[in-house]
Chain A
């Protein structure tokens, strides 16, 4: 089966600019996640969707980050305006919603804010 697709692979922007990341999950996976991974740390959940509804966005900095999952398939994560501390790898993952299966991660987008 096809994996989780993410784009772009790399992005360099200046602080205060905006950026958007795209994710297409594995077909049939109802649950989609966006994680932020800062160098040397474990992935941190930003937002979790089930179908096209938000299940948990408690750790999403809502003053600058937004995400949507239209039609319950692909998803977009946006940062506006970006800060230096947003430099990280943004990972998208998907899973069946049963809670008994592992997550499949995309290759991630490495964001550098200068």
Chain B
């Protein structure tokens, strides 16, 4: 049930754009995106709910295609600070528990160079 992310790694020059994709074989309740810098905890970027999308940051946005069970993260005009590993997390509702479970993908390592 782990979502599949692509690409595994990408190198950008400052100012370039990137797209990171995330797909699942299961129906999704929502999709999360996180960024993790080396040696630090994952930091929440944004959540995309069924029937809509939520932009969490300027120049970093995402889309969610419920039918295809896919999400994409868009980074525009990349900055050095965007470097890190990006994880998508797919959320399913746990039946009977009134709760939700988040499963992370393997991550996409993004390196932005001057």
Q: Which chain A residues have a beta carbon within 8 Å of chain B's beta carbons?
A: 31, 33, 35, 41-45, 48, 50, 55-56, 91, 97, 99-108
Contact = CB atoms under 8 A, between A and B. Distances in A.
A52 B113 CA distance: 46
Contact of B44 (A45, A50, A102, A108): A102
Given A55-B94, A101-B47, A103-B32, A42 B101 contact: no
Interface in B32-53: 32, 34, 40-47, 49
B41 A105 contact: yes
Given A50-B98, A97-B98, 11 more contacts: A43-B42, A45-B101, A45-B103, A56-B94, A91-B41, A97-B100, A99-B93, A99-B100, A102-B32, A102-B46, A103-B102
B29 interface: yes
A104 B45 CA distance: 11
Contacts of B2: 42
Contacts of B99: 31, 48, 50, 55-56, 97, 99
Contact of B29 (A41, A43, A50, A99): A99
Contacts of A50: 97-99
B107 interface: yes
A78 B41 CA distance: 20
A44 B104 contact: yes
